[in-house]
Amino acid sequence: MPAKRTLGSSIAAAATSVLAVLVLASCTADPTSVSLPAPESLVEDLDAPWSIAFHDDVALVSERDSARVLEVTEDGEVHEVGVIDGVAPGGEGGLLGLAVNDGELYTYFTARGENRVERRDIRGTAGALSLGEPTRVIDGIPAAGNHNGGRIAFGPDGMLYVTTGDAGDRDSAQDVDALSGKILRLTPEGDVPDDNPFAGSPVYSYGHRNPQGIAWDADGRMYASEFGQDTWDELNVIEAGGNYGWPDVEGIADDAGYIDPVQQWRPDVASPSGIAVTGSDIVIANLRGERLRTVPLDDLTSSTEQFVGEFGRIRDIVIGAGGTFWFLTNNTDGRGGPRDGDDRILRLGLD
């Protein structure tokens, strides 16, 4: 999601009112007992959707295996914007993250033998959008049947951040010369910023296993969600040049050589993917855990849970027009149990 639609904008400010309802759970020992607004099922029968990004007030959605980019209106109408050429879906790979910046759509996808990011002009008007020709932003990111990372977003500094998984090569996460197991930072054109922590390198942080969520608070602090292996999934505060431990450590290690997560969860109740940040909270979409989790910014060690098991696997969550939350399920990706109407986009607001 581009910086202009994240924190510090009117969209994020409006979203605080929605989170106020979710955070009611912070005052009770049983967060699942709190009465929350029922989200609206806005779009149904999608094919393994992965990411949502906004172009003005129009939602653009990626489908992992079909390589389609869809346009979704506020009324739930769906239009195919285009199919991304060169996508080679398989396992967890395919068309993954989307981001929008200055009228261009950025796509992260698995091609043959690599992951790459491309950008394209967004053409036309709402209801009839289309895509221009691709320009490559970065390529050569290692790919595999799993651990492809795939989240992209523009930070408040205007730079493009890219999460990459270790692609099954665990030790590469500790190699700052490798692109796998990292969070990368690039200019919108794909150049390496002069102030990156490793001279001439797009690597911003390392020691990651499979990060799939990134977002910033109003002070510019960066957060990332990360899949662990068998023990702990993580929420991290990202520092330039920081080493987050994988594969040497997983979760909180109390080792001065690594930066510990601010919170950790067992994989069976988490598997965190996309995240969104408002003025007061981090909201995390969870796959295996089948829930939204809310972490207050003023206490990063606590969290509450909403909609546990109600919608199955949840892949992404973003802030939409009017402060609503849009989140998408991921039950048709081969890991979940599809229900009637899956996969779907759900919209949560206050009526």
pLDDT digits (tens, 9 = 90+) for 250-300: 999 999 999 999 999 999 999 999 999 999 999 999 999 999 999 999 999
Strands 211-216 and 222-226: antiparallel
CA distance 104 to 98: 10
Is residue 313 over pLDDT 90? yes
Say if residues 345 and 52 touch (Cβ distance below 8 Å): yes
The verdict on residue 351 lying in a domain is: no
The average pLDDT across 124-149 equals 97
The verdict on residue 285 lying in a domain is: yes
Element counts in the chain: helices (H) and strands (E): 1, 25
Say if residues 327 and 54 touch (Cβ distance below 8 Å): no
The verdict on residue 210 lying in a domain is: yes
CA distance 274 to 268: 17
Mean pLDDT score of the chain, rounded to an integer? 91
The verdict on residue 200 lying in a domain is: yes
CA distance 248 to 258: 9
The verdict on residue 28 lying in a domain is: yes
Cis omega (within 30 of 0) for bond into 343: yes
pLDDT of residue 33: 31
pLDDT digits (tens, 9 = 90+) for 60-106: 999 999 999 999 999 999 999 999 999 999 999 999 999 999 999 99
The verdict on residue 41 lying in a domain is: no
Q: How many domains does the chain contain in total?
A: 1
The verdict on residue 102 lying in a domain is: yes
Mapped to the 3 state alphabet, what secondary structure does 235-283 carry? EEEECCCCECCCCCCCCCCCCCCCCCCCEEECHHHCCEEEEEECCCEEE
Q: How far is CA 86 from CA 91, 109, 166, in A?
A: 16, 9, 22
The verdict on residue 124 lying in a domain is: yes
Could you tell me which residue, 80 or 4, shows the higher pLDDT? 80
Range of the domain at 155: 3-34+47-336
**Which CATH number is 159's domain given?**
2.120.10.30
